[in-house]
Amino acid sequence: MTKSKTIGSTLIIAGTTIGAGMLALPIASAGIGFTASIFTMIALWALMAFTALLMVELHQYADHDATLHTLATQILGNKGKFVGAFAMLFLFYALCAAYIAGGGAQFNSRLNDWTSLDLSPSSVTVVFTLIVATIITIGTSTVDKVNRVLFIVKIITMAMVLSFLAPNVTRGYLMSMPVEQGLIFAALPVVFTSFGFHGSIPSIVRYLDGDTKSLRKVMLIGSSLPLVIYIFWQTVTLGVIEQNLLIENSGLTALISTLSATVNSEKLASIVSVFADLALLTSFLGVSLGLFEFLNDVMSSKSESSSANQSKTNRIKASLVTFTPPLGFALFYPEGFITALGYAAIALVILAIFLPVIMVHKVRRTQCQDNMYQVIGGSAALFVAMATGIMIISAQLLVTVGALPALG
């Protein structure tokens, strides 16, 4: 396996994880304090890294080009296939709609700042979507190359933001305690979703030809990079803004304004905006790639021909099915998506925890081989993962019905 592909795959995982959700972490963590937020992030990172390795274990028992759809059908039958398909489609379409709506608005703002073009917001959103759709349709290799550039620039802008904020960190702010115990539970879905990258795993497995050793390295390093960056991000945001002020100024725009006012720097707002653009775009590439490969796999399995022309046709069809529904939703119902986005964590639990755990449990009982890689922890680790998933879903449902305080 080439070192270049391994590095590129690692950056795809990290880039998919570090998205616009990162910017919501300080808002979600405002009421629980720095220490509690760090422990929560570490625990949920460990959970997501564990289930990613479970996916690597599963792919040993299937072709290296198998998607979650293929794995669920092969191991769990039609019931697993339908559950997996529902979770995948709901989660990915919801996230793609959010990224198209947010990315289109940000792209429109950049065009207004940098050019004299007078395009409607809807037209700009369509253009933005077509650019990303073209990159995805060409193939994973193209996504790899584009993502490397974006990821590097994103890290540079992130470093600039950290350098502006770090000198202003106040130790006392980092010692803040939770204002309500229920907020720790309520924050679980938001923090959990910020570590989501599992939909891109089948694409990475295919790109690395199913090489287990390389995949283990990619999953661990690729998921660890966001954890390190998140810890720094939480330190400089929760350490710069007093807890009550951060709670009062919820929302991304308010967060950026408060940070800029606190450090008295107009440049910070611009840098954070650029970082937000890149964070959203790299996540959009990773999420849409996972959805595209899933749909392409479904369409290819139904196609009787396997010719090169048929393959190209299937990719174009998969691209249309991937991007048209979320584009339509983002164009005509931008406000209505906010409610649906809150349920994305539920779909992610099914996709990233329940399905891998259940499939691994079955495979270990029926197909386990001594020479195959197996994730450490045994049945106890699988039980803990399932219990945590149930806790996350319960937290989101309790927030929805008002039994737990809403964040932001």
Question: Per-residue pLDDT tens for 112-149?
Answer: 777 777 778 888 889 889 998 888 888 778 888 888 88
As a whole number, mean pLDDT of residues 296-312 equals: 67
Does 407 fall in a domain? Answer: no
pLDDT band with cut points at 50, 70 and 90 for residue 222: very high
Q: Is 405 within a domain? A: no
Q: Kindly state whether residue 242 falls inside one of the protein's structural domains.
A: yes
Domain containing residue 160: CATH number: 1.20.1740.10
* Mean pLDDT of the region 194-218: 89
Indicate whether 337 pLDDT > 50.
no
- C-alpha to C-alpha distance for 327 and 314, rounded to whole angstroms: 20
Residue 322 has pLDDT above 50, yes or no: yes
The answer to whether 179 touches 43, Cβ cutoff 8 Å, is: no
Q: Is the pLDDT of residue 272 over 50?
A: yes
Percent of the chain's residues with pLDDT above 70: 90
Task: Assign 335 a pLDDT band (cuts: 50, 70, 90).
Answer: low
| Mean pLDDT along residues 240-266 | 73
pLDDT of residue 39: 94
* 84 contact partners, CB below 8 Å, separation of at least 6: 68, 69, 71, 72, 76, 350, 351, 355
Neighbouring C-alpha atoms within 13 Å toward the C-beta of 99? 28
Total domains present in the chain:
1
* C-alpha span between 231 and 279 (Å, rounded): 16
CA 260 from centre of chain: 27
Report yes or no: 234 and 41 within 8 Å, Cβ to Cβ: yes
Q: What is the mean pLDDT of the chain?
A: 83
- Give me the count of residues in the chain: 408
Q: Which domain covers residue 136, as residue numbers? A: 3-400
Q: How confident is the model over 57-108, as pLDDT tens digits?
A: 998 888 877 877 788 888 888 888 888 888 878 888 888 887 888 778 778 7
Is the confidence at residue 340, as pLDDT, over 70?
A: no
pTM to 2 decimal places: 0.80
Would you say residue 406 lies in a domain?
no
pLDDT given for residue 158 in this prediction: 82
Distance of alpha carbon 239 from alpha carbon 188, whole angstroms? 21
Please report whether residue 408 resides in a domain: no
- What CA–CA distance (Å, rounded) separates 225 from 124? 32
The predicted model gives 274-300 an average pLDDT of 80
Over residues 329-343, the mean pLDDT reads 63
pLDDT band at 215 (very low <50, low <70, confident <90, very high): very high
Does residue 227 fall inside a structural domain?
yes
- Residue 354 placed within a domain: yes
Neighbours of 168 (CB within 10 A): 16
Residues 181 and 403: their CA atoms lie apart, in Å, by 13
Residue 367 one-letter amino acid: Q
| Average pLDDT rounded to a whole number, residues 3-26 | 82
The whole-number average pLDDT for the span 223-229 is: 93
Query: Which pLDDT does position 338 carry in this prediction?
Result: 45
What CA–CA distance (Å, rounded) separates 259 from 241? 7
Rg (CA), the chain: 21
- In the chain, the largest separation of any two C-alpha atoms, in whole Å, equals 66
Q: Following CA atoms 301, 306, 310, 313 in sequence, which dihedral angle do they give, to the nearest 10 degrees?
A: 40
